[in-house]
């Protein structure tokens, strides 16, 4: 199996129905490419992906949570568990990978 990035994804900000914060960036949609950078060191310092959006700045963003990767294999597992199609970006990931062990 060839390890690869299957898709790059960027947030489409939406109103947060849960109401815990006003807007959410969990709805990541495929982008042709992304540009990454080092945000500030703290939560709330934003995503490390240009143009991305983080709604929950208390728990996301900053240098240690700047770019989120999730494997297609995990999406496939949850797709089977939930009984519905999960497209790349469904778990809010900026990078959907294939053939890469992200469990590290």
* b/e code 51-71 from CB counts within 10 Å (16+ = b): ebbbbbbeebbbeeebbbebb
- pLDDT tens column, 51-102: 999 998 888 889 888 899 999 999 999 999 999 999 999 999 999 999 988 7
Contact yes or no for 30/9 (Cβ under 8 A): yes
Within a domain: residue 103? no
Within a domain: residue 104? no
The overall average pLDDT reported for the chain is 92
- Please say if the pLDDT value at position 36 is more than 90: yes
Q: What is the mean pLDDT of residues 26-48?
A: 92
To the question of pTM greater than 0.75 for the whole model, the response is yes
pLDDT of residue 32: 94
Handedness of CA 68, 41, 39, 53 (dihedral sign): positive
The contacts of residue 77 (CB under 8 Å, 6+ apart) are: none
Residue 43: give the domain boundaries: 4-98
Within a domain: residue 90? yes
């Amino acid at each position: 199996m060839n390890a690869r990035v299957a898709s790059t994804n960027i947030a489409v900000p939406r109103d947060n129905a849960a109401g815990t914060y006003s807007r959410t960036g969990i709805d990541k949609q495929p982008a042709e490419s992304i540009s990454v950078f080092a945000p500030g060191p703290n939560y709330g310092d934003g995503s490390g992906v240009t143009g991305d959006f983080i709604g929950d700045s208390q728990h996301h963003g900053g240098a240690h949570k700047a770019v989120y990767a999730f494997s297609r294999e995990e999406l496939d597992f949850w797709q089977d568990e939930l009984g519905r199609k999960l497209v790349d970006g469904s778990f809010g990931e900026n990078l959907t990978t294939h053939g890469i062990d992200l469990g590290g």
